[in-house]
Amino acid sequence: MMKYIKFLLVGILFGIVLVKSEAVSWYRIYEMFRFESFHMYGIIGSAVTTGVLILLVSKKMKLKNITGQLLDVPKKEKGLMRYIIGGSIFGLGWALSGACPGPMYILVGTGVFQMLIVILAAILGTYVYGKFKDKLPH
Amino acid sequence: MDYILQPWPWYVSGPLIAIVMFLLLYFGKTFGMSSNLRTLCAIGGAGKKVPFFNFNWREQKWNLVVVIGTVIGGFIAHFLLSAPTNIDLNPDTVAKLNELGFDNVGKSLLPQELFSWDAVFSVKGLAILIIGGFLVGFGTRYAGGCTSGHAITGLSSLQLPSLIAVIGFFIGGLIMVHLLFPLIF
């Protein structure tokens, strides 16, 4: 049980940051896709910049994770179609519901129980992908 | 304390998100929220019918614990760490939303026109939430990740597939907001 506490704490931190940054707000996503504010670009941009630096320094220092292996990000499969088509489908849903797979849970915590409908629909969408994945271009 | 209660600027929030990514890597895992949707399918028994869900979901329990954490974090941030403030949106954004029929723009995190119970119990409102959620769930698994897996983790590790996926996120988002919203609202 104790080994899960750290994951709970990381989740709590993530939830707090996304609410306090307003990245969970439908309005902020809409504003982003209209290019009318730097806010969301600043969040994603500074997250990625910090992330690149952290990973470079970790590599340089040969930093190990708690299991004793070198810190490593798994490589994504090579491909084009799945990323461009799948990504676009995701983008359509992201802009419509204003929620990606982190915020949809976080928003339930802010008292928006209506989000449970979005979560159930997302589970269904994932299931349908799994069922037809071999028929789709990847 | 006032700084905490006010909305946090991007240059505080972004690096904190990178730290979340780093902590999970340090714990021997990878940051990726959408994987939980697949895990939930597997827990529901989807593995008996579809091989894609036939995996040992118990190895993913840590990620479900992250999810529980995010719900608690959302509660703490919203009810304990926030002074009531409007979202500081661009006036042009607000004007455009007023034009589309949205009122009280930015007075809460989400528009009442989509997320109030009245909206949820209307055919159109329910359809929007279900279609939106379905597209997110289908698209994220198809693309092999979401904002956390591709935009944060993938771009931070300079992976080309993630860049392509993020370009896809924007193609879809721009089509929705600029071409489809005027037809929907």
B16 token code pair: 């904190």
Candidate from A16, A100, A117 with C-beta closest to B129:
A117
Q: What pLDDT was estimated at residue A1?
A: 74
Contact A117 B126 (CB under 8 A): yes
Please tell me the distance from the alpha carbon of residue B70 to that of residue A109, in angstroms, as a whole number.
8
- Whether the ipTM is more than 0.85: the answer is yes
Contact B142 A86 (CB under 8 A): yes
Contact A20 B130 (CB under 8 A): no
Q: What pLDDT was estimated at residue B185?
A: 94
B154 token code pair: 């993938």
Q: What pLDDT was estimated at residue A6?
A: 97
B176 token code pair: 């929705």
Q: Number of C-alpha atoms within 13 angstroms, CB side, residue A115?
A: 25
> pLDDT per residue over A23-53, tens digit each?
999 999 999 999 999 999 999 999 999 999 9
Chain A residues touching residue B177 (CB < 8 angstroms): 30, 33-34, 95
pLDDT confidence tier of residue A105, bands split at 50, 70 and 90: very high
Please tell me the distance from the alpha carbon of residue A124 to that of residue B168, in angstroms, as a whole number.
21
DSSP string, A119-137: HHHHHHHHHHHHHHGGGS-
Candidate from A72, A108, A125 with C-beta closest to B74:
A108
| Residues in chain A, overall count | 138
Handedness of CA B114, B140, A104, B58 (dihedral sign): positive
Output DSSP code: residue A70: B
User: Tens place of pLDDT for every residue, chain B, 185 residues?
Assistant: 788 999 999 999 999 999 999 999 999 999 999 999 999 999 999 999 999 999 999 999 999 999 999 999 999 999 999 998 899 999 999 999 999 999 999 999 999 999 999 999 999 999 999 999 999 999 999 999 999 999 999 999 999 999 999 999 999 999 999 999 999 99
B81–chain A nearest CA distance, Å: 8
pLDDT confidence tier of residue A17, bands split at 50, 70 and 90: very high
The answer for residues whose C-beta is within 8 angstroms of residue B61's C-beta and 6 or more apart is: A4
Q: What pLDDT was estimated at residue B1?
A: 74
Amino acid at position A132, single letter: F
> pLDDT per residue over A63-73, tens digit each?
999 999 999 89
